[in-house]
Amino acid sequence: MPAHSLNLPAASLRSLAAMLAAGLCAALLSSAAAAADVLVVTDSRHPVQAPAGARVIELDQPMRIEAELAAHLPAQPEKAAALVQQRLRDGGEALQRRIGQAYQGVADAWGLGIAKIPAVVVDRRYVVYGEPDVARAVARIDAYRSARP
């Protein structure tokens, strides 16, 4: 139904439109901010259900990448080293990014003082341990924060 058919004064329509726009902007910004501030720390043995936008750090990712590079190497050290170098070259920038991100994630988790996994961290300040459902963990954090403004 068009706004002009609501039979409201023009000032009320402008006020209503402004309130709707402000509410929409607030909703969009708050959900984007919340998603950008969620960090999940786990490993491959503790799968989690993370929503889009959450950063997931798997602490064993560096070890798994190293295992990929070391798979089926010959016993001769020179040949093994040459094969690993070839695998690194073949992987190119994508492999370099994976390695860098994997180790950066471990450093970030260590810097936050993560003590157990899985861990869901919000705003680098609040943490819930042991909850594999990230949305549920974030809801617990939100409830805690709203009870203690």
Q: Which domain holds residue 31?
A: 1-36
Same domain flag for 95 and 129: yes
pLDDT digits (tens, 9 = 90+) for 68-95: 999 999 999 999 999 999 999 999 999 9
Looking at the fold, whether 133 and 108 belong to one and the same domain comes out as yes
Residue type, 53: G
* 1-16 pLDDT, tens digit each: 444 444 545 554 455 4
Residue 43 has pLDDT above 90, yes or no: yes
**pLDDT reported for residue 105:** 96
What percent of the chain stands above pLDDT 70? 76
| Domains identified in the chain, total number | 2
Given a contact cutoff of 8 angstroms between Cβ atoms, the answer to whether 61 and 105 are in contact is yes
| Residue 134 structure tokens | 């990230």
Q: Identify whether residues 58 and 116 lie together within a single domain.
A: yes
Name the token pair of 26: 């607030």
Residue position matching structure tokens 């590079």: 69
Q: Contact 83/73 with Cβ under 8 angstroms?
A: yes
Work out the average pLDDT over 26-42.
61
Task: Verify that 65 and 133 share a domain, yes or no.
Answer: yes
Residue 49 sits in the same domain as residue 19 = no
Tell me the average pLDDT of the chain.
Answer: 83
CA-to-CA distance for 98 and 104, rounded, in angstroms?
10
- Residues present in the chain in total: 149
- The pLDDT score that the predictor gives to residue 3 is 43
Are residues 105 and 61 part of one domain? yes
Average pLDDT over residues 12-37: 47
Q: Does the N-terminal peptide bond of residue 118 adopt cis geometry, omega within 30 degrees of 0? A: yes
pLDDT for 90: 95
Are 20 and 44 in a shared domain? no
User: Within this chain, do residues 66 and 116 fall inside the same structural domain, yes or no?
Assistant: yes
Instruction: Count CB neighbours of 59 within 10 A.
Output: 18
Q: What is the pLDDT of residue 62?
A: 97
Same structural domain for residues 60 and 14?
Answer: no
Q: Kindly tell me if the per-residue pLDDT of 139 is higher than 60.
A: yes
Residues facing residue 122 across a β-bridge: 38, 126
pLDDT score at 148: 85
Domain co-membership, 94 together with 81: yes
At 33 the pLDDT is: 40
Q: Do 24 and 67 fall into the same domain?
A: no
Same domain, 60 and 122: yes
